[in-house]
Structure 1
Amino acid sequence: MFVEGTLLYGRRFDPIEGRIIIEDGEIVTIEEVAVDSTDIVLPAFINAHTHLGDSIAKEAGAGLSLDALVAPPDGLKHRLLDSATQDEIVAAMRRSLRLMTASGTAACIEFREGGVDGVEAIRKAGSDLPIETVVLGRESEAAMHTADGFGASGARDGEFEQIRSATRDANKLFGIHAGERDADDITPAFNLDPDFLVHMVYPNTDHLTRLATEQIPTVVCPRSNLVTGVGVPPISDLAERTTLALGTDNAMLNAPSMFREMAYTAKLADVSARTILEMATINGAEIANLDYGLIEPGCEAKLLVLDGDSDNLAGAQDIVRAVVRRADRADVSEVIT
């Protein structure tokens, strides 16, 4: 099969007119040729941090603090998860996964509450959907072994040395929240040698230096940080120092839309549109060890096709900027996963 249009090619997302040749789900050739299509073709998104169990309680807890909303074990989300049936949680997560698929997300990195049962629930929710869910179990070593790794709530919430060691021995991903409320849990998170960090709203100069030295990938979730009132991550500083990806965080607080996350980040942070698109695609893929997120030969063909002649995108002078700041689900022509 082939896809034609303006292709956002390579890591710099250089717009070229041409055609992508796909065989057995892999990009085999990029042909830079004149084509009739006005479509815009880019890598499908990687949502690098989600909590999809929260889909059972969208817009709950208005006005509550971050701890009251999500802190284990008694935050509102945990109480709502405890009171819901497994079937209710599975159905709600499935809706969010369908929404993500339709809006161009090829994969997400999910911090999944509920131990082994929680991991099994998200597997069931996405079992026949094209979106790839990289599941990080929580609360037990058994959940980690059932999942693709372990997602720690934060160094202030418990002792994670043993589970970190077990996750490393299992050759699986270990991610941890850090610096969301304040800077106090950042150094303890560093000391666990995580595969990636989430949030990093409050790094100090020493933290930024260590982040650059140790090259610890980081995921920021700026819309979530806005809603919970914890502050704004120093996106430019983080992007200069390490691999930086984007996530939508709690489905309770925000729709899991990478379009919205990119547009908000673009208007909040002093970084280029290309940097933000990289955060939404290849950087998340690299954190999750996925072989896509770029339009290049040899990559899996996980692609998003936008209607470049839509009322929203027609006339765009800077294609990458338009995709990052302006595009939305209504512009999606096709998602190839």
Structure 2
Amino acid sequence: MQYVSGQMLTPEGFRPGHVGYEDGIVLEVGEGLVETAEAEGLIVPTFINAHTHLADLKVPIDLDLPLEEAVAPPNGLKYRYLAEAPDDEIRSSFSTLSRKMAKNGTSRFIDFREGGVKGAKLLKGIGKGGGAKPFIMGRPKDRVFDKEEMTKLLDTVHGVGVSSITDWPYEELEALADFVRSHGMPFALHASERIREDIDKVLDLKPSFLVHMTKATRDDMDACRDADVPVVVCPRSNLFFGSIPPLKEMVESGLKLALGTDNAMTTLPDMMTEMEFAARILRSQGGRSMRPILDMALLGGRLILNEVDSIGIAPGSPCEFMVLRSYEGDPVTNITLRSGERDVRFVCLGKYTWRGWR
């Protein structure tokens, strides 16, 4: 059995401890340090990147374009690229970013995959051999509900994630959401990203989670909290397009929150950088604790995937943990504000391990 040792994140906070593992399974989680360890530092679960669009990595972004013209269907710059890009180019983007994410401590990512059945199939199999693995949220090729197309799509994806109620005929969106839920699969959508949208209409679709809510009011947040609908925030993407997410208000509302990186065309899927941006925004808005940001990155995505209800590493679970460089001071503040890819000492995903910067 092999070990990592250091300050370990538990449901009660950071404690001196160690993790023993073998053949991709956690076998021992204990108090106290061990003398012989593969790595020493801050031991935490891996990140779950709760919202990505990785296919647009190679879109030549035009800085003069507003959000709608850059990414909105069907004629935004991104969609024109995706319609013309060769399949092998898009798949290459997936593979490149999957490997990069894994080495930086991200084990899985929830990707809103455009292009219907064909687009979803391009993402299948990515992550085998040690990369971060996708949770595929596909969508119809066009903004209409077609039962035959959706039946085929649901055989390929893990769930369905669409743009927004502003982009869709609402009746088509209702039919789509009903169909997805009837098959026991998650349905999600972007909400109030560019403009405030009717939260009652959004929640009437009974989404599993929402993305952005940048323009939401406190009443909108409270409605999502009461409906037990989590929200994924993507601060760097929002900032690029001229908005700042109301993180302090979201935290104070009691919303379940997760962290994502959004479009690869503007924002690489680097969860440490995303955490730092989120932490600095929260601080600028009056936040006095960075723990909510750490929870968004480590716990929020797992809540959306219905895997756990608290942070920790448990015996018998698959290996999904990493060891980060330990600086003096509070571990939460260090991870959220002072850690980058050079601080990743060790990553263990199943039977695959990476040793980072020394």
Q: Normalising by structure 1, what TM-score? A: 0.91
Q: Does 1:42 align with 2:44?
A: yes
Name 1:302's counterpart in structure 2: 320
Letter in 1 for 2:19: I
Q: Contact 1:6/1:15 (CA < 8 Å) preserved in 2?
A: no
Cα drift, residue 223 of structure 1: 0.5
Comparing 278-287 with 123-132, which one deviates more in the overlay? 123-132
Q: Does 1:198 align with 2:211?
A: yes
CA-atom RMSD in angstroms: 1.9
Cα drift, residue 8 of structure 1: 3.1
Structure 2: stretches of 5+ with no match in the other structure: 141-148, 350-358
Matches within 5 A, 1:178-197: 178-197=191-210
Matches within 5 A, 1:23-62: 25-36=24-35, 38-57=40-59, 60-62=61-63
Name 1:101's counterpart in structure 2: 102
Cα drift, residue 284 of structure 1: 0.6
Cα drift, residue 271 of structure 1: 5.6
Letter in 1 for 2:163: S
Comparing 134-143 with 211-220, which one deviates more in the overlay? 134-143
Q: Does 1:224 align with 2:234?
A: no
Q: Supply the distance in 2 between the matched residues of 1:78 and 1:293 (Cα, whole angstroms).
A: 37
Pairing partner for 1:257 from 270, 282, 303:
270
Q: Supply the distance in 2 between the matched residues of 1:43 and 1:272 (Cα, whole angstroms).
A: 20
Q: Does 1:209 align with 2:222?
A: yes
Name 2:143's counterpart in structure 1: none
Q: Supply the distance in 2 between the matched residues of 1:289 and 1:98 (Cα, whole angstroms).
A: 25
- The SS at the match of 1:168 is helix
Q: Does 1:156 align with 2:174?
A: no
Judging changes above 3 Å, is the alpha-carbon distance between structure 1 residues 107 and 85 closer, same or farther for their aligned structure 2 residues?
same
Cα drift, residue 287 of structure 1: 0.2
Judging changes above 3 Å, is the alpha-carbon distance between structure 1 residues 22 and 271 closer, same or farther for their aligned structure 2 residues?
farther
Cα drift, residue 15 of structure 1: 1.9
Percent identical: 36
Judging changes above 3 Å, is the alpha-carbon distance between structure 1 residues 271 and 124 closer, same or farther for their aligned structure 2 residues?
farther
Judging changes above 3 Å, is the alpha-carbon distance between structure 1 residues 239 and 182 closer, same or farther for their aligned structure 2 residues?
same
CA distances 1:72-100 after superposition (whole Å, capped 9, x unpaired): 01000111111110011101121111111
Judging changes above 3 Å, is the alpha-carbon distance between structure 1 residues 180 and 297 closer, same or farther for their aligned structure 2 residues?
same
Q: Contact 2:231/2:255 (CA < 8 Å) preserved in 1?
A: yes
Judging changes above 3 Å, is the alpha-carbon distance between structure 1 residues 89 and 75 closer, same or farther for their aligned structure 2 residues?
same
Matches within 5 A, 1:71-150: 71-139=72-140, 141=150, 142-150=152-160
CA distances 1:138-183 after superposition (whole Å, capped 9, x unpaired): 1252323310010011011113111111111221111110010111
Name 2:20's counterpart in structure 1: 21
CA distances 1:28-70 after superposition (whole Å, capped 9, x unpaired): 432111334642211100000000001122x622231000110
Q: Supply the distance in 1 between the matched residues of 2:205 and 2:334 (Cα, whole angstroms).
A: 39
Q: Supply the distance in 1 between the matched residues of 2:125 and 2:296 (Cα, whole angstroms).
A: 28
Letter in 2 for 1:328: G
Judging changes above 3 Å, is the alpha-carbon distance between structure 1 residues 304 and 77 closer, same or farther for their aligned structure 2 residues?
same
- The SS at the match of 1:300 is coil
Cα drift, residue 23 of structure 1: 5.1
Name 2:305's counterpart in structure 1: 288
- The SS at the match of 1:63 is coil
Matches within 5 A, 1:264-275: 264-269=277-282, 270=287, 272-275=289-292
Q: Supply the distance in 2 between the matched residues of 1:25 and 1:129 (Cα, whole angstroms).
A: 12
Q: Contact 1:45/1:106 (CA < 8 Å) preserved in 2?
A: yes
- The SS at the match of 1:281 is helix
Q: Supply the distance in 2 between the matched residues of 1:324 and 1:122 (Cα, whole angstroms).
A: 30
Q: Supply the distance in 2 between the matched residues of 1:201 and 1:87 (Cα, whole angstroms).
A: 34
Q: Contact 2:6/2:33 (CA < 8 Å) preserved in 1?
A: no
- The SS at the match of 2:34 is coil
Comparing 105-114 with 27-36, which one deviates more in the overlay? 27-36
- The SS at the match of 1:239 is helix
Count of paired positions: 328
Cα drift, residue 132 of structure 1: 2.0
Cα drift, residue 213 of structure 1: 1.2
- The SS at the match of 1:73 is coil
CA distances 1:269-303 after superposition (whole Å, capped 9, x unpaired): 12622211110011111102345963234543200
Q: Contact 1:293/1:302 (CA < 8 Å) preserved in 2?
A: no
